[in-house]
Structure 1
Amino acid sequence: MAKQSLPQINQLSKYLTKETLLPIYFLCGEDSYTIEQAVDAIEKVVSPLLGSGFDRDVFSGDKSFELNQVLDQALSFPFGGEKRLIEIKNFEKLTDKKSLSGYVKDPASFTVLVITQNGSVSDAAKEPYNLLIERKYLFEAKPITGSELADWFVRLAKKKNLDIPEDHARAVIEVVGENKSLLEMQIQKFIDYSNSGKKLTVEELVKLSSPTKEYSIFDFIGSIGKGDKSKSLEVGFNLLDSGVEIVFVINMVAKFIMTVAQILDLTRQRISENEGARLAGVSYYYYINCKKATFFMSDTRLHNASRALLNADLAVKSSGMDHKTVLQMLISELLGEVATSPLQN
């Protein structure tokens, strides 16, 4: 059976005025950033309707959480204002989720109950989720990726009077990752750096987005692409010392190798660089940098790189090997001599 499509959190704006307030907002999904933003938006509408601080409560759920006690509180009248605001976090940790069903059927008109759940709803046909959906109280926040995420980043920057082209946004996302909170933090850094109002180059954006002051992941990829073992070790160790996770490094190298393999194929087809970047699903800046990786521009080296990445991934997951040792092994296998015989195992 196909998974039921749930109402999306972008529909919430229809219910964010005094006249359209819902008695219950159940916000769930993998996009915690958007859920937090939605909670802030609801609070902004409800806060002027509260009589005092006693009309606002925030609870964090766990296995021992007594949901019925909170629901009884939701049924009690406000201290003097028009509304009572109650927020329950981490609904996924509660053991008595079905207790919410009775309240969903007959919620208090003077209470706004905001419930957040980390993660998606596994079975929308079960209570209380089916009742929440039926009454249009449930909203899901799905994570966005690719061009959709880049477009979101561009629009967020524009709200703060910062002009970032979509291609540059993609380059920043490739460095920072797809965490919206981290991406938002980069925008403030960009604003502080460009206080003169000048438009930042993609190189400046990437440098500012780097998790370490000395080197970025792009520096590591660049040294790998040139076949420079000593520089790769220097940059790689610097990244680990600065708190970058070995899994992130391996994933970025895997993406790099996959892109180089695509470039090799697209170049043979005489595809233009702009079109190639689009087909590869990466920014033009990243595509061009990968194209400079002449060391890996052969099927033999790419095949060897795939094995090196597999070995590194297995070392991280199935052994207690020190992360610097794993990185050293990865670099040695990536940049070492490879046999060219077709009989090689």
Structure 2
Amino acid sequence: MPIYVYWGEDDFAIEKAVSALSDRVLDPLWTSFNYTSFLPDRDDAVIQALNQAMTPSFGAGGRLVWLVNTTLCQHCPDNVLAELTRTLPVIPENSFLLLTSRNKPDERLKATKTLKQFATEFREFPLIPPWKTELLVQAVNQAAQSLGVKLTPKAVELIAESVGNDTRLLYNEMEKLRLYGAGNNQPLDVAIITKLIRNTTQNSLQLAAAIRTGDTAKALTTLNDLMNASEPGLRIVATLIGQFRTWLWVKIMMESGERNPDAIAKAAEVGNPKRIYFLQQEVKSLSVQQLISILPLLLELEVSLKQGYSDIATMQTKVIELCQVSRRN
């Protein structure tokens, strides 16, 4: 019963996983006979995919049936559930059923429970939160290792800052570095990275820093740069909420008298306790009340954007308001 369920917002990572599964399952000479994909616009996509998965593979290799962007784990009619329950336990060992979706499976649905029961792999591919810098650095190191690119530690940090959580951009830039460094055993340093990788990070973390210091002019300039770079408003707000929540926890722990960086890191969900010192310096000038006042404003902004209000006008107004809160004594 080789059943694979992939979901998450990291489209590129899912594409890589699908490609790896295809390479493992399909024989290139028999792919046209043994590979079928079903788009969600077909009403009978799930039923057809299950029927196809029951068909023995032709020639060499296995069979791969892919339900692309399926909503099966969000909504499953009774007739489809009945077919799913009947078919999954008896899918041939050489037939692979793959389901992908951007949305998280609804754990309450019987369809989701059935898939989890029989799935060989039930895996999420989330985007790394932009404020989780240690995870971004780890992702750069993993990409560099997989492509054989040698980097200095500072170069790794610069790449993480430059590409953020855009996995597709990370691998595109890493491929460029691989070609540049071919035949060179020396790690690529910051000077080379600066020349080869465009730093698009007038990023959301810089916007958070400008709001934290109450620098309205810098905050608005950074916001305009982000919008000109087509950064989605909701993604910007998600980063701001995450960063200010981290700052708030650090400040609360400081004022409670906690001095252990490990304890503060655990409470603030910061992966690297060494970052706590720098976070403490960043929130020195702010009170707990100021940080508490900022979060509802960010949540209001998130709601406004979800209701369809103009990104740039709504965000400019709210950024000015946020900077005013940070400047209060």
| TM-score, normalized by the shorter chain, greater than 0.5 | yes
**Cα offset, 1:186, TM superposition:** 5.4
Alignment of 1:194-343 (within 5 A): 197-200=186-189, 211=200, 215-265=202-252, 269=257, 271=259, 280=268, 281=270, 284=274, 288=278, 291-292=281-282, 296-318=285-307, 320=309, 322-336=310-324
On the 8 A contact 1:89/1:117 being kept in 2, the answer is: yes
CA distance in 1, matches of 2:180, 2:28: 40
Distance 1:187 1:308, change over 3 A: same
Q: Deviations over 1:61-114 (max 9, x none)?
A: 4452255555555555655446444333344357534324443343346x5232
Distance 1:326 1:141, change over 3 A: same
CA distance in 1, matches of 2:308, 2:276: 33
Distance 1:55 1:121, change over 3 A: same
**Cα offset, 1:141, TM superposition:** 0.4
For residue 58 of structure 1, what is the aligned residue in structure 2? 37
For residue 12 of structure 1, what is the aligned residue in structure 2? none
Letter in 1 for 2:95: V
Given the alignment, which residue of 70, 75, 83 partners 1:99?
Answer: 83
- TM-score by length of structure 2 reads 0.68
**Cα offset, 1:27, TM superposition:** 1.9
Aligned residues: percent identity? 16
Alignment of 1:136-151 (within 5 A): 136-143=118-125, 151=138
Letter in 2 for 1:247: L
The SS at the match of 1:336 is: helix
Letter in 2 for 1:261: L
For residue 5 of structure 1, what is the aligned residue in structure 2? none
**Cα offset, 1:123, TM superposition:** 5.2
Task: Please report the RMSD computed on the Cα atoms of aligned residues, expressed in angstroms.
Answer: 4.6
Letter in 2 for 1:92: T
Larger mean CA deviation between 243-252 and 185-194 belongs to 185-194
**Cα offset, 1:201, TM superposition:** 5.4
Alignment of 1:48-87 (within 5 A): 48=27, 51=30, 53-65=32-44, 67-74=46-53, 78-81=57-60, 83-87=62-66
Distance 1:210 1:114, change over 3 A: farther
Distance 1:34 1:99, change over 3 A: farther
On the 8 A contact 1:28/1:121 being kept in 2, the answer is: no
For residue 115 of structure 1, what is the aligned residue in structure 2? 98
CA distance in 2, matches of 1:192, 1:270: 49
Distance 1:229 1:65, change over 3 A: same
Q: Deviations over 1:10-38 (max 9, x none)?
A: xxxxxxxxxxxxx5323244376555444
**Cα offset, 1:238, TM superposition:** 1.6
Letter in 1 for 2:21: I
CA distance in 2, matches of 1:128, 1:228: 48
Distance 1:120 1:79, change over 3 A: same
For residue 15 of structure 1, what is the aligned residue in structure 2? none
Listed as ranges, the gaps of 5+ residues in structure 2 are none
Listed as ranges, the gaps of 5+ residues in structure 1 are 1-22, 341-345
CA distance in 1, matches of 2:289, 2:308: 28
For residue 110 of structure 2, what is the aligned residue in structure 1? 126
CA distance in 2, matches of 1:70, 1:272: 55
Distance 1:303 1:187, change over 3 A: same
On the 8 A contact 2:181/2:188 being kept in 1, the answer is: yes
On the 8 A contact 2:163/2:169 being kept in 1, the answer is: no
For residue 144 of structure 2, what is the aligned residue in structure 1? 157
**Cα offset, 1:116, TM superposition:** 0.9
- TM-score by length of structure 1 reads 0.65
**Cα offset, 1:235, TM superposition:** 1.8
CA distance in 1, matches of 2:283, 2:113: 51
Letter in 2 for 1:112: S
**Cα offset, 1:44, TM superposition:** 1.7
| Bigger radius of gyration among the two | 1
Distance 1:72 1:181, change over 3 A: same
Aligned length: 308
For residue 5 of structure 2, what is the aligned residue in structure 1? 27
Distance 1:201 1:82, change over 3 A: closer
Distance 1:32 1:50, change over 3 A: same
On the 8 A contact 1:26/1:116 being kept in 2, the answer is: yes
